[in-house]
Structure 1
Amino acid sequence: MDLEKGEKGQHCLFRQGESLPFERKEVLGNGGFGQVDKVLSLISFEEYAMKRVLRNVAFRGRRTEDMKQFINEIKILKLLKHHHIVEYVGSYTDPKYVGLIMSPVAEMDLRVYLTHYHFQSS
């Protein structure tokens, strides 16, 4: 399975009834378009951040154009390598969601970090 091969992997498709090889541990954050969970891979037993976006929200309207934009975002994320940026691990589509698997798992989201940093520097 290519799901954890990073830039060398392929986008995976999970059909109805197929289980994702991840165990959800906790919710890390919620946004207008999706949710980010801390997950444990049942393949490598590594912990990752998994961002899930509902397919009907991500690709409504101009489905072909939106899908092309999503694919381009994955290509760009695969190229980014910096210790301050999450690393692309893999991506998938299932009947309900489009998901990105990333590493490392953050201890907090940017809003919490900035709020914490603001109060400490005041």
Structure 2
Amino acid sequence: MENHPKVAVVTGAGSGIGRAVALALLADGYRVALAGRRADALQAVCAESGAAERALAVPTDVTDPAAVQALFETAVAAFGRVDLLFNNAGTGTPPVLLEDLTLAQWQSVVNVNFTGMFLCIQQAFR
């Protein structure tokens, strides 16, 4: 296993593709801040990785600018910098016809999938 001095932030790291990417980066030696809404899922990924000393679970709502700022501040405080952002957090709508989709359901998808991505990119550049 190569030991990278590099640091990654992975959003949506508690399940699915984000989980798989976080585990792969940790297996490759990266230090990784795992972000997601469910602290228990993030902790489980950290434990599963076998590299808990290089894994940091940071419960984060990517639609909240203050939470995203805190995510990046926490990663930098723990690891010194951020080299890679895997901007993976996302959500979908319930399986309903378009005409039955509520505005609140639509806005939830836009807030997570677009605004959350923007906020994370903005913090990564800062």
- TM-score, normalised relative to structure 2: 0.32
Structure with greater proportional helix content = 2
